[in-house]
A and B are shown apart, each in its own frame.
Chain A
Amino acid sequence: MPAIEVQAITKRFGTFTAVDQISFAVEEGEIFALLGPNGAGKSTLIRMLTTLLPPTSGTARVGGCDIVQDPDGVRRSIGVIPQAMTSDLELSVAENLTVFAKLYGVPRERRRQLMRELLAAVELTQWADQPVKNLSGGMRRRVEIARGLMHEPRIFFLDEPTTGLDPVSRVAVWEMLQRIKAQRGLTVLLTTHYMDEADKLCDRVAIIDHGHLVALDSPLKLKASVPSQNLLEVGFAGAPPDWAERLRHLAAVESVTGEAPVFRIASADGAATTKALIEAAGAAHVTLESLAVQSTTLDDVFVHYTGRQLRDALQEPSWADRSGMVRRR
């Protein structure tokens, strides 16, 4: 049985449809990402799955419990790290963890043991008695991860867990999540708009755009599904006027964009195209000034499935912004 099973779930706010007929399943032990720009519907979807929002239609089962019929069953089996930092800044790390363990009725002895284990797992043992306000952003996020696991949930939801963190802290959080997931046999569902996060951390990725599920597979398979495997950015000196046309006929080239002196070449086989263009440049006495070969990224996958760059989509206002709602951050 899947850990999370979502069937045609929909959420409408007035006339605006934030999530539209989305279905997917997350297997036990997976790290599953909902990838998309702000306003795509990721947070709305995760809020429905964590019982914070009732769906307009459709249903979902989390840990075997229906999110509408048995929300308390869902709440007992999940740990949730919301998008906003929700630890009490005035309380110490240990106090924050204790309060949440008590909310789940974890017995005292088990609580102490779990706190020791989790603080060690998130590398905050020596900070246990420090007020959370004294910690950095990355450390606070680790406190939240430990807090979300104090009742030993089977399924862990994280809403944009690394937003606002510096690159080093982000990598630290990824490593920590992978380690804890392996130790505790967790199923993890997270939302993100970072391509590298979805790519490096997750077993499978669901790309969400404008409330729709547009693609779902492992990062490798998603990248393989995009026709162009590589992108070459090449700078030339002394290129003749028909140079772009000549490049189009080289081995494995699918398209050529840009103007002299820099061209962008989409290729199905980066190595073959590179070799061919070096030979062609030599034969035509054109000087090769720069060459960069880039593999397909999830950004290319996003462009392929949605028709626009994720970084452009990130600039679009979300439904919450449009409806004047205050976003909790």
Chain B
Amino acid sequence: MHLIDGSASSIKSFLKTLSPVDQVGAEARAAMLGTRSIKTSSKSWAIDMAISMIDLTTLEGADTAGKVKAICTKAVRPDPSDPTVPHVGAICVYNDMVEIARKQLDAAGGHEIPVAAVSTAFPSGRASLEVKERDTKDAIANGATEIDMVIDRGAFLSGDLEKVFSEIQFIKSICGDRAHLKVILETGELVTLDNVRKASYLAMAAGADFIKTSTGKVTPAATAPVVLVMLEAVRDWYAMTGVKIGVKPAGGIRTTKDAIKQLVLVNETAGPEWLNPQLFRIGASALLNDLLMQRMKLRDGHYASPNYVTLD
């Protein structure tokens, strides 16, 4: 379905059809959903679901092969003492770590766990299109089957929506059938929920398979109102086009409570069909251990200690 032909006027006129977002109302809705009380059986279901949705991430200048291998091992068997714990959704690393990650996952028995690479001059996106192209091609060549690209926020904020759109289209064309494309909006730099909604539609129209909140390098990141607006966008996009787009909040989701709030948001906004790793991911690192500790608490009936979960 071609809602936008790529021209500035078609983009502008399409985005004009979008309803505005009232920030206070959206925040109130997100806060209300945050009061949902998830207990006992639903909590243990949610914890496992959240684990399986994690894009276990390391995106540091200090990343080494050792560090990446460690998280890959953990991705496959998050709790070595408990084989009933599901594996995570994916590993998310910088481009140069993709090959290492892929090998380690395969070696540890995690063939089905994809490697996602942050791409297009992550996190700022400030590079030429040629560099972004090369970046993406490299990642795919090294075994990435998911590309987490950043949009050009400068272009978006200056009104050059055509540039944002065409870059996404271009990266999508590189990904083709070989890689899923996640488009990072960096909502903390877009500031308003109206912008979040516009950028979400822009990304979906340009071919995103997922829309992702943040790089993790900017705060605020995956706030509940931002995720709410993005979930509304994929829900309404599905109603409009019949295509389901995924959502990935990333940044700031550190506790089980945070993660379960995200699942409640999904459940009551986009709907239960989105509650699977194909359509919802959580970009995180520390979150996994908290989920594991909560899982132990539910299993054992007493509170857990960090001494009993692995550090990586």
Do A and B actually bind? no
